[in-house]
Amino acid sequence: MKRLQIVPYNTNINFIGFRFIPFAIAAIITVVSLAGVMFKGLNYGIDFKGGYILEVRMPNAQDVTPLREKLNALSLGEVMIQQVGTERDLLIKLEHQHGDQTAQTVAIDKVKSTLGAGVDYRKIDTVGPKVGAELVDNAVKAILLSLVAMLAYIAFRFEWQFAVCAIVALAHDCIAILGLFSLFPSFEFNETAIIAVLITAGYSINDTIVIFDRIREGLRKYKKMELGELINKSLNETLSRTTMTATTTLLAVTALYLFGGKVISAFSLPILLGIIIGSFSSICLAAPLLMYLKIKRGDVALKKGASANENTVEKFA
């Protein structure tokens, strides 16, 4: 049985030769994304900008999808609804309304009217802006700590040069995803958005590690090969694996986006774009950036050792 091969076996793309094109693209994406986050801000969801959480028990089992459509038709902004525990127990999140306390009461009354009679309202809590600020702070800390942990792992597993290149590529990925949530109103930054950013970082670093491992193998095996040629060889050798992994993952996430319903689609779309961005950075940023850092080669290390020995012999002769 013939094995599926998306990328031909003898592919020889000169990634190093046209590295300045993806460098320019990445720079534009980073600048535009940072500008969007700094000047426009993120499109925060209920979890961050505050609102109301209603914990209710319905008189009978509920189909969440039509109920969600009814609540969204009330023109109260974002309304989130999910089942917790049994099919009768629901958690409803309603964003803070413009206006005074009367506007908030009217909005909650509209929700109660839509839910109908016989509903047991177990809890109605307010999520204030202070809680939202804490969530933003925790989200930033989670992303930064994950990047630091990856930096430490790669520096220990490979060398510091590899770690620097990987973190630059990862920072590009995270900034690009944040830019999506800033520049496009349909992307709402909530708790699932943080998960999307971390998933993108995890997927990207996995690809990068595979490529770096092949480059390190080449550094030991081809001691006289030019670094640019070696990186090209490693990228082409791992291109089939990278493409196959990205394709299969994209197929699964695309299915979730198309057939998973509104909530899952909103969660899967940033991940889908993150996979594309992560694959791009692993191939076109992380590996080519090694050209600008002094990587220790096996033959260089031997020469240094030989020179040191010669100097010692001359000194004590």
- pLDDT the model gives residue 35: 93
Q: Is residue 313 part of a domain?
A: no
CA–CA gap between residue 4 and residue 277 (Å, rounded): 24
Global pTM reads: 0.74
Q: Are residues 24 and 137 in the same domain?
A: yes
Q: Are residues 209 and 96 in the same domain?
A: no
Structure tokens at 268: 């899967």
Contact 81, 67 (CB under 8 A): yes
What residues make up the domain containing 269? Answer: 20-42+132-298
- pLDDT the model gives residue 129: 60
- The amino acid at residue 182 is S
Spacing of C-alpha 155 from chain mean position: 21
CA–CA gap between residue 195 and residue 170 (Å, rounded): 15
Q: Are residues 109 and 163 in the same domain?
A: no
- pLDDT the model gives residue 132: 59
Q: Are residues 56 and 113 in the same domain?
A: yes
- pLDDT the model gives residue 308: 35
Q: What is the DSSP string of 255-305?
A: HHHHHSHHHHHHHHHHHHHHHHHHHHHIIIIITGGGGGS-PPPHHHHHHHH
Q: What is the dihedral of CA 237, 268, 32, 149, to 10 degrees?
A: -60
Q: Are residues 81 and 197 in the same domain?
A: no
Q: What is the DSSP string of 130-195?
A: HHHHHHHHHHHHHHHHHHHHHHHHHHHHS-HHHHHHHHHHHHHHHHHHHHHHHH-TTS-BSHHHHH
Intra-chain end-to-end CA distance of the chain, in Å: 68
Count the Cβ atoms, other than its own, within 10 Å of residue 153: 14
Count the Cβ atoms, other than its own, within 10 Å of residue 97: 18
Number of domains in the chain: 2
Q: Is residue 303 part of a domain?
A: no
Q: Are residues 83 and 227 in the same domain?
A: no
Contact 108, 124 (CB under 8 A): yes
Q: Are residues 139 and 116 in the same domain?
A: no
Question: Domain boundary residue among 93, 127, 161?
Answer: 127
CA–CA gap between residue 105 and residue 80 (Å, rounded): 18
CA–CA gap between residue 123 and residue 132 (Å, rounded): 20
Structure tokens at 95: 């964003």
pLDDT in tens, the chain (317 residues): 456 666 667 778 888 888 999 999 999 999 999 998 888 887 777 767 777 888 888 888 877 878 888 888 887 777 788 777 777 888 888 877 777 778 878 888 888 888 888 888 888 877 766 555 677 777 778 778 877 887 788 778 778 888 888 889 988 998 998 888 888 877 778 777 888 888 888 888 888 888 988 988 888 888 888 888 899 999 988 888 888 888 888 999 999 888 877 778 878 888 898 899 989 999 999 889 988 887 766 544 334 333 433 343 333 23
Structure tokens at 211: 């490529």
CA–CA gap between residue 269 and residue 30 (Å, rounded): 20
Q: Are residues 136 and 214 in the same domain?
A: yes
Q: Is residue 308 part of a domain?
A: no
Q: Are residues 136 and 117 in the same domain?
A: no
- pLDDT the model gives residue 315: 36
Question: Domain boundary residue among 82, 111, 127?
Answer: 127
Question: Domain boundary residue among 127, 153, 175?
Answer: 127
Give residues with Cβ within 8 angstroms of 72, minimum separation 6: 79
Q: Is residue 317 part of a domain?
A: no
